[in-house]
Amino acid sequence: MSSLQHFGWFLSRGFGPHGWGHPYYEWNYPWHSPKLYQQSVRDLEQAGFDLVIIEDALSLGNADTLDLRIRSAYGGPKHDPLLLAPYLFAATEHIGIAPTVNPLAYSPYQAARQFATLQHLSDYRFGINVVTDVGSSRHFGVEPLAHDQAYDRAEEWLTAVRRLWHSWGPDALIADPATARFADGSKLDAFEHRGEHYRFDGPLNALPFPELGAEQLSGDPVVVSPGGSGRGLNFAGEQSEVQLALASLDVETIRAYRAKVLEAARAHGRSASDIVILFVFKPVIVSSEEEAQRLVDASAHPDDAALLQIAAGQSSDLETDLTALDLDRPVDPSIFGDHVSRGTIKGLLGRYDDFADATLRQLLTPKARLGRISDRAGYVGTAEEVADFIQELGDEADNDGFIFSGDLHPVTIHRMLDEVVPILRRRGILRTEFGDGGLRGNLRDF
Ligand SMILES: Cc1cc2nc3c(=O)[nH]c(=O)nc-3n(C[C@H](O)[C@H](O)[C@H](O)COP(=O)(O)O)c2cc1C
């Protein structure tokens, strides 16, 4: 029998037009009303998933590329996932919900207050996915910071938010009708924060969170982080209880990634059991090995329509329109403005060193290519093969678990999970019941 692993779902499109671009859009769920998401998270809870993380971007990005961002709904619209969270809590009992939050958009006081409220309302099932993107700074009247400075700001923000959550001392709350005394103001921490990025005063006017259960787990909302740079992994080691890891899924890479995060955790006086590292996983589950092979074979020769679809996705990430370019000529690198992420440009180049070395078709073709999970060459496979892969990475790489990634839509959830859930349960890899410790409890149940 293998060990239990943790599973979550990354709602990779954010709170946006779910299903757009796919036939299942015509199931006619209005994407801006809560029922679609409520139905989906109920199914994920039924499947034994610990949490849902909701992607977000604060704006439509660069003013010159608005059409590019919205014409296929790749970059927007996006409604605020924080405000979706209460509807998801109302529909479920155990699963945690962690919307994406960017410190540039919330003062620590506002953040601490809203998150405390959601933590109380959800019975300890709230988390925040803390991101450091600076592309939307101008909408908030703040200067864009450099990569590492944005992490510095996030650290100052989280430390300040936590101090506010703890600004009611352990015996500040009395709530004793006999003495008609609700609380003791002398036990509150009226601190003054004067930091590099924020200046404000405490204490918070929201109630603190009592510790949970015999283990006295902290009642604070759970912090999730996704950054994969050295700075990002150090941030995770110091601050996070869940790291959303994007990496190639093989034993060696997972071991190396885990080692870096756990080393950072230890350097900050934490232990391996304080953080759960979940790798992003997007399998293509098919009904037979023959079907898997058919898909893989076809993907080696993508037609122009398939390449254009990939170009549209890349164009949104690159804030540069690739769809209007000739597929059979090299890309002129001067089309990428200074604002475009160098990492994303490198991602487009793939194994090529220079744009002169390849046509756009040659750059895009490898991005269409699928591989069999049974050969460890990609992620197409039957449910049994996907379960074998999950089991292998748990057994051989000590993997904590996975974040499935996709739309939060009943069709995508059932397509990915219907067959895999029972197999994982039979093998003892996926939980069959929840404890009652909220999101942190889910992460510490095993
Ligand atoms: C799996 C994953 C998910 C992410 N989700 C978001 C998101 O929802 N919103 C956002 O603004 N940035 C998101 N980011 C970006 C990170 O917050 C960060 O800004 C970016 O990864 C750069 O930091 P890094 O160099 O440490 O990776 C995500 C990154 C990864 C790897």
Mutate to test the pocket of ligand 1, among 53, 133, 155, 231 (most ligand atoms within 8 A of CB): 133
3-class SS of residue 225: strand
Cβ proximity of 311 and 337 under 8 Å = no
* Pairing status of strand 192-194 against strand 284-285: unpaired
Which residue, judged by its Cα, is nearest atom 29 of ligand 1? 226
Q: Is the CB of 61 under 6 A from ligand 1?
A: no
Helix axes 147-165, 230-239, angle to 10 degrees: 10
For ligand 1, is residue 148 a contact (CB within 6 Å)?
Answer: no
pLDDT for the residue 12: 93
Task: Give the model's pLDDT for residue 344.
Answer: 87
Distance 419 CA to ligand 1 centre (A): 31
Q: 424 alpha carbon to ligand 1 midpoint, in Å?
A: 29
Q: What is the DSSP string of 393-412?
A: HHHHH---EEEEEE---HHH
Which pLDDT score is estimated for 405?
96
CA atoms within 13 A on the CB side of 351: 4
> Coil, strand or helix: which one is 346?
helix
Query: Phi and psi dihedrals of 284, rounded to 5?
Result: -105, 105
CA of 56 to the centre of ligand 1 (A): 10
53, 80, 82, 132: residue to mutate for ligand 1 pocket, most atoms within 8 A of CB = 132
Query: For each of the chain's 446 residues, which pLDDT tens digit applies?
Result: 789 999 999 999 999 998 898 999 999 999 999 999 999 999 999 999 999 999 999 999 888 889 988 998 988 999 999 999 999 999 999 999 999 999 999 999 999 999 999 999 999 999 999 999 998 999 999 999 999 999 999 999 999 999 999 999 989 999 999 999 999 999 999 999 999 999 999 999 999 898 888 888 999 999 999 999 999 999 999 999 999 999 999 999 999 999 999 999 999 999 999 999 999 999 999 999 999 999 999 999 999 999 999 998 898 888 889 999 999 999 999 999 877 778 889 899 999 999 999 999 999 999 999 999 999 999 999 999 999 999 999 999 999 999 999 999 999 999 999 999 999 999 999 999 999 999 999 999 99
**Residue whose pair of structure tokens reads 């994982």 in the numeric block:** 424
Distance 229 CA to ligand 1 centre (A): 10
**The pair of three-digit structure tokens given for residue 135, joined into one six-digit string:** 């592309």
- Neighbouring CB atoms inside 10 A of 358's CB total 19
How far is Cα 285 from Cα 31, in angstroms, rounded to an integer?
25
Specify the DSSP element, H or E, that contains 312: helix 304-318
Considering only CA atoms, which residue is closest to atom 3 of ligand 1? 226
Tell me, using a 6 A CB cutoff, whether residue 132 lines ligand 1: yes
Return the pLDDT at 317.
Answer: 82
**β-pairing verdict for 173-176 and 181-183:** antiparallel
Using most ligand atoms within 8 A of CB, pick from 55, 128, 131, 261 the residue to mutate for ligand 1.
131
Alpha helices, DSSP H, located in 11-91:
35-46, 66-70, 81-91
| 43 in contact with ligand 1, CB cutoff 6 A | no
pLDDT score recorded for residue 341: 78
- Per-position DSSP letters for 282-309, written without gaps between them: --EE-S-HHHHHHHHHHHTS--HHHHHH
Q: How far is the CA of 131 from the centre of ligand 1 (A)?
A: 6
- Answer yes or no: is the C-beta of 100 below 6 A from any ligand 1 atom: yes
Atom of ligand 1 nearest to the CA of 245: 1
Amino acid 318: pLDDT? 87
Residue 228: CB within 6 Å of ligand 1? yes
Block residue for tokens 């590329």: 65
| Nearest Cα residue to 171 out of 214, 208, 217 | 208
| In 119-187, beta strands by DSSP E | 127-130, 173-176, 181-183
